[in-house]
């Protein structure tokens, strides 16, 4: 029986794709900047434009690059365009998306729990930075978020910058060079506890959505573990399949 452990074959455009990705990950090409043109790159790698284009298109498909006809190709950022909503699935009952406003309640550095250690793949007894905030939609509290990141990778986040921006992923990218590329969300139905009552203004026992998200970078390393609790009278979680 042939074990077939050998990959027997590896498309050129995939190798090119990985080489390009490496240059993004390494920071050689930073988010928001233009990368060399197709013809320049095809010369660099000694492949035809067509092959190189296939690699670029694949990376654009995965939201790593953004292509602009007539202008060039840029490394994707988290502030630009509609990529803001890539990780935000809450919509109004009418299907409209609106931008949440944040109010920070807690911002501290502390030891990681075992749950957080597992979710973030930390070493033993590492610290995390914990942020709790309320996010308002249409001027009413809609979301209670508790999120943690590794204190090692995000040193100083607990005190600076003093007003946290509304979109944290943009900050992770700009200030710490860590870009969230994928996320995995698990959704549960839970009953509101006293904390939820105080923060969201709902009765204790009210059914809430609990969304547990692990956000990962391009290589699949976990960057952030976030638990959101959300009341669903005027909003819901939307997923298109």
Partner DNA sequence: TAGTGGTCTAGACCACGGT
Partner DNA sequence: CCGTGGTCTAGACCACTAG
Interacting residue ranges for DNA, rule: CB under 7 A: 8-9, 11-14, 35, 37-40, 47-51, 53-54, 56-57, 67-73
Measured CA to CA in angstroms, residue 224 lies from 45, 63, 89, 139, 157 at distances of 35, 19, 17, 27, 13
Measured CA to CA in angstroms, residue 127 lies from 10, 107, 112, 149 at distances of 41, 13, 5, 9
- Residue 239 binds which entry of its own copies, DNA, none, CB below 5-8 Å type-dependent: its own copies
Nearer to its own copies among residue 74 and residue 91 (C-beta): 91
Query: Which helix (DSSP H) or strand (DSSP E) does residue 194 occupy?
Result: helix 194-200
Nearer to DNA among residue 46 and residue 123 (C-beta): 46
Residue 6 CA from chain centroid, whole number? 34
Candidate residues 40, 104, 121, 191; the one interacting with its own copies per rule CB under 8 A: 191
Query: Minimum distance from CB of 104 to its own copies (Å)?
Result: 24
- Residue 149 binds which entry of its own copies, DNA, none, CB below 5-8 Å type-dependent: none
Q: Please give the torsion angle defined by the CA atoms of residues 217, 228, 184 and 126, in that order, rounded to the nearest 10 degrees.
A: 50
- Residue 68 binds which entry of its own copies, DNA, none, CB below 5-8 Å type-dependent: DNA
Nearer to its own copies among residue 45 and residue 87 (C-beta): 87
Nearer to DNA among residue 63 and residue 204 (C-beta): 63
Report the site for its own copies in 123-182 (rule: CB under 8 A). Answer: 182
What lies within 8 Å, CB to CB, of 73 at 6+ separation is 34, 35, 37, 38, 56, 60, 65, 66, 67
Other Cβ atoms within 10 Å of 49 Cβ, number: 14
Binding region for its own copies (CB under 8 A): 86-87, 89, 91, 182-191, 205, 207-209, 230-232, 236-241
């Amino acid at each position: 029986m042939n074990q077939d452990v050998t990959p027997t074959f590896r498309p050129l455009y995939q190798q090119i794709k990985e080489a390009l990705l490496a240059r993004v990950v390494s920071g050689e090409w930073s988010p928001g900047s233009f990368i060399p043109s197709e013809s320049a790159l095809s010369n660099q790698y000694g492949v035809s434009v067509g092959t190189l284009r296939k690699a670029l298109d694949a990376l654009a498909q995965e939201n790593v690059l953004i292509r602009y006809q007539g202008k060039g190709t840029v490394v994707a950022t988290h502030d630009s365009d509609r990529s803001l909503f890539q990780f935000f699935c809450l919509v109004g009952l009418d299907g409209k998306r609106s931008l949440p406003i944040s109010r920070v309640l807690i911002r501290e550095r502390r030891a990681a729990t075992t749950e957080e250690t597992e979710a973030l793949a930390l070493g033993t007894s590492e610290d995390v930075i914990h942020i709790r905030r309320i996010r308002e939609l249409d001027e009413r509290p809609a979301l209670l978020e508790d999120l943690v990141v590794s204190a090692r990778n995000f040193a100083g986040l607990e005190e600076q910058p003093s007003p946290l921006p509304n979109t944290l992923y943009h900050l992770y990218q700009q200030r710490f060079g860590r870009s969230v590329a994928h996320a995995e969300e698990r959704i549960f139905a839970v009953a509101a506890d006293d904390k939820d009552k105080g923060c969201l203004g709902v009765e204790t026992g009210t059914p809430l959505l609990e969304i547990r998200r692990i956000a990962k970078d391009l290589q699949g390393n976990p960057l952030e573990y976030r638990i959101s609790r959300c009341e669903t009278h005027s909003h819901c979680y939307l997923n298109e399949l």
